[in-house]
Amino acid sequence: MSEPQPLWTADEIAAATGGTARGAFAVSGVSIDTRSLEAGDLFVALSGARDGHDFVPGALARGAAGALVSRAVDGPHVQVADVFAALEALGRAARARPAGLHCAAVTGSVGKTSVTQAVAAVLARAGQGHSSVKSYNNHIGVPLTLARMPRDTRRAVFEVGMNHAGEITPLVGMIRPDVAVVTTVGPVHIENFPDGEAGVARAKAEIFSGLKPGGRAVLNADNRWFDLLQAAAAKRGAEIVSVGRRTASAARLLDLAPDGARQIVTADLFGTRLCFAIAQTGDHWGLNALMVLVIAESLGVDRETALQALAVFGPLGGRGAEHTLFLPGGTYTLVDESYNANPVSMQAVIAALGARPAAGRRILALTDMLELGEQGPALHAALAADIRAARVDKVFCAGPLMRALWDQLSPAERGVHAPDAAALAQELKGAVRPGDVVVVKGSNGSRASQIVDVLTGGERH
């Protein structure tokens, strides 16, 4: 059996980045963090809060095969003029080298990580696939994911995020996708857009700017910004595939039925009726699953392989992962939705809680949704209607913005309002009872994950 090819050799790195190699070496991975670096990695000495060059000796001591630097260091390295620009160049070179590579790029106000990781599970089953890890979707995460792409990759999927206008265009220019996906558009990061949600929609439409000629645009037909996105995709000459409940959708959701810890999806996909199981709960997963099938088909994966992957792809940590936790006298269920929050995802989670059976109470533990600008208090207060419709029994809130929701709740619905997540966690820990279902949701910046850590004893995965 022949030896596997290295990810990069020193000479290839130098050629891709315009740098100078010092020492002959080959790498099997690319890392920007010594805490997660593995033996054989290329350590990229980016500068952030601290100068990455300070960590080069430690990286080499931990087994890095070489470093990418902008000044001379001891040990094997490639020296370049600018380390960040060199990482981008390495990403572009990685995109160019596999023959016949097909790529998808996924963005959206909600669902982009879930859809990306579900597609990643499909590609892992199909073989020779590559994908973003975690939420590596920004100006560093995208070129890093590209730079890590094996030279024999056949299919890849990339998550693309943004907080401001103009951020998606350079990222999708590196990816050059065959398939560009917008899961949905909602009031997220709107404090950064003078025209609010319309500005967010236009920023998301930047994903079509890098679409390869004749590529596919996959759009949510049920979203209010569908027409704007469709027009932007059409200007690029894209083949537009609509996914939704609308009659005219190319991938149409007909029914979504709960079945224990999974759901049964009935759909019409390009004229073929399908009925299949997904290992997810929540109404939003109906459209997510159809988008995954459309993306997989667009990348050349057969439908049966995609369906098999969806049947076993379970909730991600912080995005619906469930824990059974013990109390004197029984257990309760904790649903970890703490990764992030915005009004759209919050409404979906509340509706999902209302739809599930509970031996005890349905409880929400919510922290502030951030980056909503002056609309923040009103958007928090508006959740009261969703909570009432879902028949939630108790709501525990933390943070100044959640006070606006608290003020809209009835005395019977109120659990506790606390100043922050840490304080709320202690209140909630003493309030849960056997049979309860507790959902934790909030923005990263408001530390919703602290509540999960306290309830689970820090044993989240």
**Contact between 425 and 449 (Cβ < 8 Å):** no
Under CATH, domain 8-81 is a member of which superfamily? MurE/MurF, N-terminal domain (3.40.1390.10)
Tell me which amino acid residue 199 is.
Answer: G
Q: Which of 98, 84, 107, 113 has the alpha carbon at shortest distance from 149? A: 98
Query: So what's the pLDDT on residue 5?
Result: 87
- CA distance to 159, 319, 383, per residue, from 222 (Å): 21, 22, 20
Query: Of 249, 238, 253, 99, which is closest to residue 181 (Cα–Cα)?
Result: 238
Other CB atoms closer than 10 Å to residue 316's CB: what's the count? Answer: 17
User: Is residue 8 within 8 Å of 42, Cβ to Cβ?
Assistant: yes
How do the pLDDT tens digits run along the chain, 461 residues long? 456 789 999 999 999 999 999 999 999 999 999 999 999 999 999 998 889 999 999 999 999 999 999 999 999 999 999 999 999 999 999 999 998 999 999 999 988 999 999 999 999 999 999 998 877 899 999 999 999 999 999 999 999 999 899 999 999 999 999 999 999 998 877 788 888 899 999 999 999 999 999 999 999 999 999 999 999 999 999 999 999 998 899 999 999 998 888 999 999 999 999 999 999 988 889 999 999 999 999 999 999 999 999 999 998 888 888 899 999 999 999 999 998 888 988 998 999 899 888 889 999 999 999 988 889 999 999 999 999 999 999 999 999 999 999 999 999 999 999 999 999 999 999 999 999 999 999 988 999 999 999 999 864 43
pLDDT value, residue 223: 95
Q: Write out the two tokens for 372.
A: 């909503």
Q: Domains of the chain: which residue ranges?
A: 8-81, 98-312, 321-456
pLDDT score, position 2: 56
pLDDT computed for residue 458 by the predictor: 60
DSSP 315-360: PBTTBBEEEEEEETTEEEEEEEETT---HHHHHHHHHHHHHS--SS
The fold for domain 321-456 equals Protein-Tyrosine Phosphatase; Chain A (3.90.190)
AA letter at 346: M
Question: If one looks up domain 98-312 in CATH, what number appears?
Answer: 3.40.1190.10
* Cβ-Cβ contacts under 8 Å for 132 (sequence gap 6 or more): 116, 120, 141, 142, 145, 157, 158, 159
User: Is the Cβ–Cβ distance between 236 and 211 less than 8 Å?
Assistant: yes
- Report pTM: 0.85
Rg (CA), the chain: 23
Q: What confidence score (pLDDT) does residue 413 get?
A: 96
Taking Cα atoms as reference points, which of 223, 215, 213 lies closest to residue 182? 223
Is 53 buried (19+), middle (13-18) or exposed (0-12) by CB count in 10 A? middle
Exposed e or buried b for every residue in 188-211, given b needs 16+ CB within 10 A? Answer: bbbbebeeebebbbbbbbbbbbbb
Q: What's the token pair of residue 69? A: 């630097």
CA distances from 434 to 281, 352, 361 (A): 22, 20, 9
Do the domains 98-312 and 321-456 sit in the same CATH topology, yes or no? no
Q: Which helix (H) or strand (E) holds 56?
A: helix 56-61
pLDDT at 258: 87
Q: What is the DSSP string of 96-159?
A: HSSTT-EEEEEE-SSSHHHHHHHHHHHHHHHSSEEE--TT--STTHHHHHHHT--TT--EEEEE
Q: Which letter does DSSP use for residue 446 in this model?
A: G
Q: How many residues does the chain have?
A: 461
